[in-house]
Amino acid sequence: MAPPDSPKPPSASDRSACGLPSAAVIDLSRRRVQRPDAEWRSLLTPEQYRVTRHQGTEPPFQNEHWDRHADGVYFSVCSETPLFDSRDKFDSGTGWPSFTRPIEPAFVEESVDESHGMRRVEVHCAVDGAHLGHVFDDGPNPTGLRYCINSAALRFVPRAQYEGWLASSRSP
Protein backbone atom coordinates (compact mmCIF):
# COMPACT_ATOMS: atom_id res chain seq x y z
CA MET A 1 0.00 0.00 0.00
CA ALA A 2 1.27 3.48 -0.91
CA PRO A 3 2.04 5.92 1.89
CA PRO A 4 -0.78 8.42 2.54
CA ASP A 5 1.23 11.35 1.18
CA SER A 6 2.00 9.68 -2.18
CA PRO A 7 0.44 11.32 -5.23
CA LYS A 8 -2.52 9.42 -6.59
CA PRO A 9 -2.55 8.41 -10.25
CA PRO A 10 -5.05 10.44 -12.33
CA SER A 11 -8.53 8.96 -12.48
CA ALA A 12 -11.58 9.64 -14.60
CA SER A 13 -12.80 11.98 -11.86
CA ASP A 14 -9.65 14.10 -12.39
CA ARG A 15 -10.82 14.84 -15.94
CA SER A 16 -12.88 17.84 -16.93
CA ALA A 17 -16.05 17.77 -19.02
CA CYS A 18 -13.99 18.21 -22.20
CA GLY A 19 -11.87 15.14 -21.42
CA LEU A 20 -8.68 16.97 -20.54
CA PRO A 21 -7.01 16.46 -17.18
CA SER A 22 -8.26 19.10 -14.74
CA ALA A 23 -4.76 20.59 -14.47
CA ALA A 24 -4.62 21.00 -18.28
CA VAL A 25 -7.96 22.85 -18.23
CA ILE A 26 -6.67 25.20 -15.57
CA ASP A 27 -3.47 25.80 -17.57
CA LEU A 28 -5.33 26.33 -20.86
CA SER A 29 -7.91 28.67 -19.32
CA ARG A 30 -5.13 30.82 -17.87
CA ARG A 31 -3.20 31.02 -21.13
CA ARG A 32 -3.86 34.07 -23.24
CA VAL A 33 -3.40 34.12 -27.01
CA GLN A 34 -2.74 37.70 -28.04
CA ARG A 35 -1.63 38.83 -31.47
CA PRO A 36 -1.19 42.17 -33.21
CA ASP A 37 -4.11 43.14 -35.43
CA ALA A 38 -2.08 42.58 -38.60
CA GLU A 39 -1.34 39.00 -37.55
CA TRP A 40 -5.03 38.28 -36.84
CA ARG A 41 -5.84 39.63 -40.32
CA SER A 42 -3.27 37.32 -41.90
CA LEU A 43 -4.42 34.22 -39.97
CA LEU A 44 -8.19 34.62 -40.37
CA THR A 45 -10.51 34.96 -43.35
CA PRO A 46 -12.09 38.41 -43.68
CA GLU A 47 -15.38 37.03 -42.27
CA GLN A 48 -13.64 35.29 -39.33
CA TYR A 49 -11.73 38.48 -38.59
CA ARG A 50 -14.87 40.65 -38.72
CA VAL A 51 -16.84 38.30 -36.44
CA THR A 52 -14.17 37.32 -33.90
CA ARG A 53 -12.13 40.51 -33.61
CA HIS A 54 -14.88 43.13 -34.20
CA GLN A 55 -17.99 41.49 -32.67
CA GLY A 56 -19.61 40.89 -36.05
CA THR A 57 -22.57 38.64 -36.79
CA GLU A 58 -22.90 36.47 -39.86
CA PRO A 59 -26.18 35.99 -41.74
CA PRO A 60 -28.53 33.28 -40.43
CA PHE A 61 -28.98 30.09 -42.47
CA GLN A 62 -25.99 31.09 -44.64
CA ASN A 63 -23.12 29.91 -42.49
CA GLU A 64 -21.00 26.78 -42.32
CA HIS A 65 -22.20 25.05 -39.14
CA TRP A 66 -25.86 25.95 -38.58
CA ASP A 67 -27.07 22.70 -40.17
CA ARG A 68 -24.06 20.45 -39.42
CA HIS A 69 -25.07 17.18 -37.77
CA ALA A 70 -21.69 15.39 -37.61
CA ASP A 71 -20.26 14.14 -34.32
CA GLY A 72 -17.36 16.22 -33.06
CA VAL A 73 -16.14 19.26 -31.21
CA TYR A 74 -16.10 22.92 -32.19
CA PHE A 75 -12.85 24.81 -31.48
CA SER A 76 -12.16 28.53 -31.58
CA VAL A 77 -10.77 29.60 -34.98
CA CYS A 78 -8.33 31.83 -33.06
CA SER A 79 -6.67 29.17 -30.86
CA GLU A 80 -6.54 25.49 -29.97
CA THR A 81 -9.42 25.85 -27.52
CA PRO A 82 -12.32 23.35 -27.57
CA LEU A 83 -15.53 25.32 -27.01
CA PHE A 84 -18.66 23.28 -27.81
CA ASP A 85 -19.52 19.60 -28.24
CA SER A 86 -21.87 18.48 -31.02
CA ARG A 87 -23.69 16.40 -28.39
CA ASP A 88 -24.89 19.69 -26.87
CA LYS A 89 -25.93 21.20 -30.23
CA PHE A 90 -29.61 21.62 -31.10
CA ASP A 91 -31.73 23.16 -33.84
CA SER A 92 -32.94 26.45 -32.42
CA GLY A 93 -34.57 27.52 -35.68
CA THR A 94 -32.49 30.72 -35.65
CA GLY A 95 -30.07 29.82 -38.47
CA TRP A 96 -26.96 29.82 -36.26
CA PRO A 97 -25.32 26.90 -34.46
CA SER A 98 -26.89 26.66 -31.01
CA PHE A 99 -25.62 24.76 -27.98
CA THR A 100 -26.98 24.15 -24.48
CA ARG A 101 -23.58 24.63 -22.82
CA PRO A 102 -19.88 25.11 -23.47
CA ILE A 103 -17.72 21.99 -23.39
CA GLU A 104 -15.75 23.52 -20.49
CA PRO A 105 -17.11 26.59 -18.66
CA ALA A 106 -13.60 27.92 -18.01
CA PHE A 107 -13.06 28.37 -21.77
CA VAL A 108 -16.05 30.68 -22.38
CA GLU A 109 -16.53 34.07 -20.73
CA GLU A 110 -19.56 36.36 -20.74
CA SER A 111 -20.00 40.12 -20.79
CA VAL A 112 -22.97 42.46 -21.15
CA ASP A 113 -23.51 43.73 -24.71
CA GLU A 114 -25.72 46.81 -25.04
CA SER A 115 -25.14 47.41 -28.75
CA HIS A 116 -27.94 47.60 -31.31
CA GLY A 117 -30.34 49.13 -28.77
CA MET A 118 -30.74 45.96 -26.68
CA ARG A 119 -29.17 44.26 -23.70
CA ARG A 120 -27.66 40.84 -24.43
CA VAL A 121 -24.99 38.61 -22.94
CA GLU A 122 -22.01 38.26 -25.27
CA VAL A 123 -19.87 35.12 -25.10
CA HIS A 124 -16.23 35.07 -26.06
CA CYS A 125 -13.33 32.63 -25.86
CA ALA A 126 -11.50 33.04 -22.55
CA VAL A 127 -8.19 32.04 -24.13
CA ASP A 128 -8.04 34.21 -27.26
CA GLY A 129 -10.78 36.81 -26.70
CA ALA A 130 -12.68 35.88 -29.87
CA HIS A 131 -16.28 37.07 -30.03
CA LEU A 132 -18.39 33.92 -30.41
CA GLY A 133 -21.99 35.12 -30.22
CA HIS A 134 -24.53 35.48 -27.41
CA VAL A 135 -26.22 33.34 -24.77
CA PHE A 136 -29.96 33.50 -24.11
CA ASP A 137 -32.17 31.89 -21.45
CA ASP A 138 -34.66 30.35 -23.89
CA GLY A 139 -32.86 27.06 -24.58
CA PRO A 140 -33.95 23.47 -23.92
CA ASN A 141 -33.15 21.25 -20.96
CA PRO A 142 -30.90 20.43 -19.26
CA THR A 143 -29.58 24.02 -18.97
CA GLY A 144 -32.37 26.21 -20.36
CA LEU A 145 -29.64 28.14 -22.20
CA ARG A 146 -29.09 28.79 -25.90
CA TYR A 147 -25.55 29.63 -26.87
CA CYS A 148 -26.16 31.19 -30.28
CA ILE A 149 -22.74 31.08 -31.94
CA ASN A 150 -21.33 32.40 -35.20
CA SER A 151 -19.94 29.66 -37.45
CA ALA A 152 -17.13 32.02 -38.45
CA ALA A 153 -15.81 31.79 -34.88
CA LEU A 154 -15.69 27.98 -34.93
CA ARG A 155 -13.56 25.22 -36.42
CA PHE A 156 -15.21 21.78 -36.46
CA VAL A 157 -13.08 18.76 -35.48
CA PRO A 158 -14.56 15.28 -36.05
CA ARG A 159 -14.80 13.13 -32.88
CA ALA A 160 -11.98 10.71 -33.85
CA GLN A 161 -9.61 13.60 -34.55
CA TYR A 162 -10.64 15.25 -31.25
CA GLU A 163 -9.91 12.01 -29.37
CA GLY A 164 -6.42 12.03 -30.93
CA TRP A 165 -5.95 15.65 -29.86
CA LEU A 166 -7.02 14.71 -26.32
CA ALA A 167 -4.57 11.81 -26.23
CA SER A 168 -1.69 14.06 -27.30
CA SER A 169 -2.77 16.74 -24.78
CA ARG A 170 -2.69 14.19 -21.95
CA SER A 171 0.91 13.19 -22.70
CA PRO A 172 3.63 14.77 -20.56
User: Class of the 16-170 domain?
Assistant: mainly beta
In tens, the pLDDT along 6-42 reads 344 444 445 555 665 555 554 555 567 888 899 999 9
Give yes or no: 148 in active site. Answer: yes
Closest CA to 130 of 113, 115, 108: 108
Residue 107's closest CA among 69, 142, 140, 149? 149
Domains in the chain: boundaries: 16-170
Beta strands at 146-149 and 154-158: parallel, antiparallel or unpaired: unpaired
E strand residue ranges, 54-163: 72-76, 82-85, 89-90, 98-99, 108-113, 120-125, 131-136, 146-149, 154-158
**What tens digit of pLDDT does each residue of 69-96 get?**
999 999 999 998 999 999 999 999 999 9
Amino acid present at 29: S
- Going by C-alpha positions, the residue among 127, 102, 105, 108 that lies closest to residue 30 is 127
Banded model confidence at residue 1, pLDDT cuts 50, 70, 90: very low
User: Considering the entire predicted model, what is its pTM?
Assistant: 0.83
Amino acid at 88: D
The pLDDT tens digits for 31-76 are 678 888 999 999 999 999 999 999 999 999 999 999 999 999 999 9
Q: Which one of the listed residues 18, 78, 125, 148 is annotated catalytic?
A: 148
